[in-house]
Structure 1
C-alpha cells in the first residue's frame, strides 16, 4: 500500500515538470527499493499510474469542455469506428498503468538480482 501511494504521489508531482515516462522511472526505482514481490510490485505500479493517468485525463477532459478529447476521438474513428470519449480516456489510463506496472516489476527483479549477487559474494567471503 505504501508503494502504491508513493508511486502515485511522486509520479503526479514529477509529471508536471518532466515527460510522461517519468512515471515508469519512479515506479522502477521505488519498486527496487520497497517492492516485496514481483506481483505486488506490478499491482502497485499499475494501480498507481492507472489511477493517476485516469484522474489527469478526466481533469484535462473536464477543464477543456471535452473539446480536445472529442477531436482526438474523431481522428481515431477513421480506423476505430467503435471508439468513444470514455473509451479513449480508459485506453489512456491503461497505457499509463501498463507502463507503471511493467516498470515496477522490472525494478523489483533488477534489485533482486543485485541482492542475490551480494549474498553470494558474502557467502564466498566466509
Structure 2
C-alpha cells in the first residue's frame, strides 16, 4: 500500500515541480516522497523509478504527438537510433526514472539513518 501511495504522490509532486522548476525538479519531489513515505530503500527506488518512468513517458508522448513525432524522429536520427521516436521516448523516460529512483532511495536512506554525535 505504501508503494502505491509513494508512486502516486511522486507522480503528482513531480508533475507540479515540472511546472515551476527546471527539468531536475522531479528529483526533489522523489527525494521528498522517499523521505516522507517510510519504505525500504529498494522499494523506495522502485516507486521513484516507476513513477517517473510512467510520467516522463506519458508527457513525452503527449508533447511529441502534437507534431506527429516529427521533431522526436529528427532528434532520434541525430542520436543515431534511426527515425524511432518511441525508442527515444523510452530512453529519456529511463534516464529520468533512474534519477528519480536514486533520489527516492537517498531520501529513504536519510530517514533510516539515526543521527549520532
Relative to the length of structure 1, the TM-score reads 0.83
1:22 equivalenced with 2:40 (yes/no): no
- Which deviations, in whole Å up to 9, do the C-alpha atoms of 1:69-91 show, x marking residues without a partner? 011012112xx5x6722111100
The residue that corresponds to 1:108 in the other structure is 108
Instruction: Assess if the C-alpha contact under 8 Å between 1:3 and 1:35 holds in 2.
Output: no
1:44 equivalenced with 2:19 (yes/no): no
Q: Which has the larger radius of gyration?
A: 1
CA RMSD of aligned residues (A): 1.6
Aligned partners of 2:22 and 2:51: how far apart in 1? 17
* Structure 2, unpaired ranges of 5+: none
Q: Which runs of 4+ in 1 moved over 6 A?
A: none
* Structure 1, unpaired ranges of 5+: 122-126
- Count residues in correspondence: 114
